[in-house]
Structure formats: structure tokens, C-alpha cells
Amino acid sequence: MSTPTARHFPATRMRRMRRDDFSRRLMQENSLTPSDLILPVFVLEGDNQREAVASMPGVERLSIDLLIEQAREAYALGIPALALFPVVGPEHKSELAEEAYSASGLVQRSVRALKRRCPN
């Protein structure tokens, strides 16, 4: 048998969390769409190069020309952004990471190619 307080709880239902649109959206159920995603892409030197990543089945490192195709496919699917991960050879690695801010670095060339061929 229920107690009198349990039967009438809550006596008053506060609606302050439902008053504003912002609060309602904050507490609503989660929804995930392609526009919420960022596609990670591993980029390597060369042309028409595709190399499997052994530790990640189904993931490949792509050269810049294939990266452009991948970016177009992602955009067509509604994915608005890419995260670029360069595969930098040991000859370009240094203690000061000069390749990271070199104008001719792999990421910089990738970004320029993406902006030129996939402006959106």
C-alpha cells in the first residue's frame, strides 16, 4: 500500500526547465546527424597512393589527390569537416617540428588543395 505522500508526489510540477527554448533543447534527447561529425583522414606524400593502416582495419592513408575525392564524398554525405593527420617521414622530423609550420609541409599543401578544389 502506498503512503499518502507518495500518492500525491509531486504535488506541484515545476515547469521552469521547459519555459525557454534553450533549456528545452539542452535537456531533450540527443540526436546525432552527419553534420555533427568530423572525418579523420591520414594523408601521405605522393600521387594516387593508398596505404592500409594495419592497426585500424578499413582505414587507409591517402595521397592528396585521393584526399580530394574523399572530401567530396564526405561533403556529399553531409559531413562538414575533416581532421588531417599527416604521415611525416623520418627525414622531415626534428626536435623543433619545423615541418609543422613549413609552407611546403604536407598538411599545408593538403589544406591548400582542399580549399582550391572543395571550397565548401
Digit-coded pLDDT (tens) for 99-109: 888 888 999 99
This model's pTM is above 0.75: no
pLDDT at 115 over 80: yes
pLDDT at 15 over 70: no
Q: Provide CB contacts within 8 A for 5, sequence distance 6+.
A: none
Confidence band, pLDDT 50/70/90 cuts, at residue 7? low
Q: Locate 115 and state its grid cell.
A: 580549399
Q: What tens digit of pLDDT does each residue of 21-77 get? A: 887 777 777 788 999 999 999 999 999 999 999 999 999 999 999 999 999 999 999
